[in-house]
Each structure stands twice: as structure tokens, then as C-alpha cells.
Structure 1
């Protein structure tokens, strides 16, 4: 007899801030996320101009009445625009020993840095998270094929076993139409990208997962992380054991209640 599938894990999206922008990326948000009982808390990690890693879901902040890219700001400028927002290391430190750390990396290394895994900026961030929280408590996600490969190569060389998932289904708004079509096609048929990345998890928008990415994950025997699932009906579907490995949601309390009751779709 086959063993029963493991319960689907829950990751608190946007570090548990839900729809409260003032709370996002603050200690209070992390405390609230941990209090729900979610196994993981998602941290959106960006890099300031001076190299400081900070938490920010959006690529920009409002500074002096203007939208400014986080990547073009010093840490002091970022802190002035987002007072209370945590630095990456401080956030990981607050979660260590309390919940798993789900790092969604939203920055890129210079192209030449990927020639050696240890030279990638993403690897340095993951290494610091592992130092603070332990390798078994860190999950890494990003849509950057090169970054995932660098993390996997580094993790394997060090014997750490850090889970690194390649994301598909992100926004293509603003790109040329031909590029949008190519991007969506590669997401519906993602095998080449996953082979190149060496990802050991599939990370997909829940609609894209329904359209075929979940089937790809099953055939490739890779765990599936589905984002961002908030509607009760969709939570009931994706939280059924065996359908996913992890679900990211803005409603971790509801997700955990549904999972606990084992409501079947």
C-alpha cells in the first residue's frame, strides 16, 4: 500500500502583511505570519545600489513624490522611503527557529558572475540565510534560470541540500508582444528551462499550474509550489494532499484551517 501523501505546506505571502502596505516587511508582519502557524514565511529580497539586501515586493518605492527603483537607491534612501522595512539579514534572523524562510529573490547578478557559482550575488544571500536559519529551513525561488543553477551548484558542492525552485508565470506586462508570446510558450512547455536551471522544485502561478505545469511537475517528479492562492475554492483544490508540495497565500489562517479540516474538492 502506498503511503498517504504528505500535507501541503503553507507559505505566508508578502511576509504575512496581507493587504496592509504599512505592515509589509516589518517585524510585526513577520510576527503575525509566524503566529498563524504557517510553515514558511515569504521574503521578497531586493538589492540596493550599495549592495544592501532589503525586503520589498515591488521593484520601486515612493521617494520625494517620485517612483524610484530600489536597485538605484542607497540603503539610506530606501530606508527614508520605506521606514520600518527590514533588511534581509534582520528578517531572516527574526524567523530563525520560528518558521521556515522562503526567499523570493528579485535581483540579478551581473552576467559574468554566473560563470562561477560562488560569485553570484544570489548565492551570497542564500548562504547568509543558511548560516542564520539552517539549510533545511530555507527555500529559494526566482524566475532567473542562471541564479537557480548557481544556487543548486553551490548547494550541491557544499552538501547542503537547499531547495531551489524555478518560477514560471510572472508578469510580462510592458514587454514586446513577440517576447510575451515566447515567454508564455516557454512556461507552458518548461522542460528546457528546468533542465538548464537544475531546479529541484517547480514554482508556478496557480492558473498556469492548472493549464499544464502541474502535470509537468508530476512527470518530472519535482515538488510543486503554487502561488498565490487566496480564494477558498482554490485553496481547497491545491491543499488536497498530493496536488502540491507548498502553497503561497495571503490568507495563511484560512489555508491552515482548510488543510486541518481536510476538506476535499
Structure 2
């Protein structure tokens, strides 16, 4: 309860909104259908681009062909389908989600990101979409497109927490420093959503988001302890998880206690 200015009457203060949930890495029709059967808020999927420009739902930038790793961007759709028979097209997953769930779109490629975003906005609506990417230029491209086409509030996030395995030590340190202290990258990319791996979020990025008054997306939260921590109302805007059933149960118990 709190006092309203100029009025001694106490007015109730509404509790923080529940943290929203995103079912992580829904890359096949089976995984998408599973997420749709749950009461999650978002369905997360990764998008790559084939050599012929076709957008597909796929996580990795390489695929094994004949025992060798081949860049996905060098393969046509037909060649990729020969080794990944259950491959989903980007448009197929948009059609599956339309009118049913919001989409958490994680772009894994660089270039033409605005075009991919435009297709999602056309199919789902800007209010039903979150766009994330590891690439600063891609964030800037999508933000520019969104503002130019009347969607300034479209949430576009710069993801922090990329893998640095195989990088020279100097580059590993440089990448991690830019993630622990992301001020410059966020200002230059113009991201309006903070996206962080959970350990980075705890290391200070959550505080950065609060100070900037930006919504926070934390990935990927799977352990019971982490779910209890991050699903506390007000701690984040959105959490991605590979265990959506457990996350929904944790959130449900918290909501029941708040309103019980």
C-alpha cells in the first residue's frame, strides 16, 4: 500500500508482472507443437540462411555432410534437406505460431535481417515478436527498419554471452569485457532489449538493464534453483528455458502465493 499525493487514503500497489517464459530452441515441428500445447508466452527458434537465400529453422552455422562440416550458408535448400530431413522453413514456423503464440526470433545469420524481421512482423504483428542476435550491426539494421516502418517499440536485443572457444586469448578477453561492460555496444547498436546469458546477468548485466530501464531477457534457465531465482516477479522481462513445464510450475506456484 502507498499514499496517493494529496490524499491520505491508502491505495494498493499492484505486484510486479510475472516473468514471461520462452520455450527454447524449438527447431522441429514436434518441438513447436509441444510448446504450443503449453501455456508459454513465447516460442524461441533459430534462423539460418541457405546459399539460395531460403530462411530455415536451424541452430548451427555448419552441418555434417559426408563426414565433414560444411557451412550451412554454402548449401542450397535441397542439399540441406538431404542431410536434415525434418528441416522446417522459416515461413512454416511463422504460420504455426500466427494467432497462437508470440515468437522469439534468434537470427544466426548476418545481412538481410530486416527482411526476415519484416516477414515476421507481417505475419505475427510487431507486438507478438522479440528479435535477438549476437551481431551488433544486425541489431542496428533491424532497429532502423522498425523505426522507419512505424514499429519503434519492436523489441530487438543484442545477445551477450557468445562462445569464445577457439578464439585467441586476447580476443576472448576483449569479447568478455564488452559483455560485462556492454554500454558502448548497446549505445551504438541501439538495442532496446538487454539479452544475457544467466551468469552474465548475475555478474552485472541485470543491473545495467535496470539502470537503463530496458527489459531484460535471460537465457537459458533450466535448473530448479535458477528457475526459482529468475522467475521472481520483477527480476526479468523474459526467461528462456529448455524445461518449460517445470518453469510453468514454478511460475504458477509464485503467482498463487502472490494472490493467495
Task: Tell me the TM-score normalized by structure 1.
Answer: 0.89
Show the 5 A alignment for 1:8-157: 8-15=19-26, 25-109=27-111, 121-157=112-148
The answer for the alignment partner of 2:10 in structure 1 is none
Query: Is 1:181–2:173 an aligned residue pair?
Result: yes
Distance in 1 (CA, whole Å) between partners of 2:62 and 2:83 is 10
In 1, the alpha carbon distance for the partners of 2:180 and 2:28 equals 36
Could you say which residue in structure 1 is the equivalent of 2:7?
none
Match of 1:252 in 2: 244
Q: Which residue of 1 aligns with 2:208?
A: 216
SS at match of 1:36: coil
Equivalence for 1:198: 190
1:162 positional shift = 1.5
Q: What does residue range 219-230 of structure 1 map to in structure 2 within 5 Å?
A: 219-230=211-222
Q: Distance in 2 between matches of 1:3 and 1:224?
A: 20
State the TM-score, normalized to the length of structure 2. Answer: 0.91
SS of the residue 1:199 aligns to = coil
Q: What SS does the aligned partner of 2:60 have?
A: coil
Q: What are the Cα deviations for residues 189-224 of structure 1, in whole angstroms up to 9, with x where unaligned?
A: 000000001111100000110011101111111100
Q: Which moved more, 1:62-71 or 1:97-106?
A: 62-71
Local SS of the residue matching 2:37: helix
Aligned residue for 1:14, secondary structure, equals: coil
Q: Distance in 2 between matches of 1:84 and 1:143?
A: 26
**Structure 1 CA distance, aligned partners of 2:197 and 2:246?**
19
In structure 2, how many angstroms separate the alpha carbons of the residues matched to 1:7 and 1:158? 30
- Per the TM alignment, residue 3 of structure 1 is displaced from its structure 2 partner at its CA by 3.3
**How many positions carry a matched residue from both structures?**
244
Q: Following TM superposition, by how much is the alpha carbon of 1:170 offset from its aligned partner in structure 2, in angstroms?
A: 1.1
Distance, in Å, in 1 between the alignment partners of 2:127 and 2:228 is 27
Q: 1:7 maps to which residue?
A: 18
Give 5+ residue unaligned stretches, structure 2: 3-12
What is the CA–CA distance in structure 2 between the aligned matches of 1:153 and 1:4, rounded to whole Å? 34
| RMSD (Å), alpha carbons | 1.2
1:234 aligned partner? 226
| Structure 1 residue 71, shift from structure 2 partner | 1.1
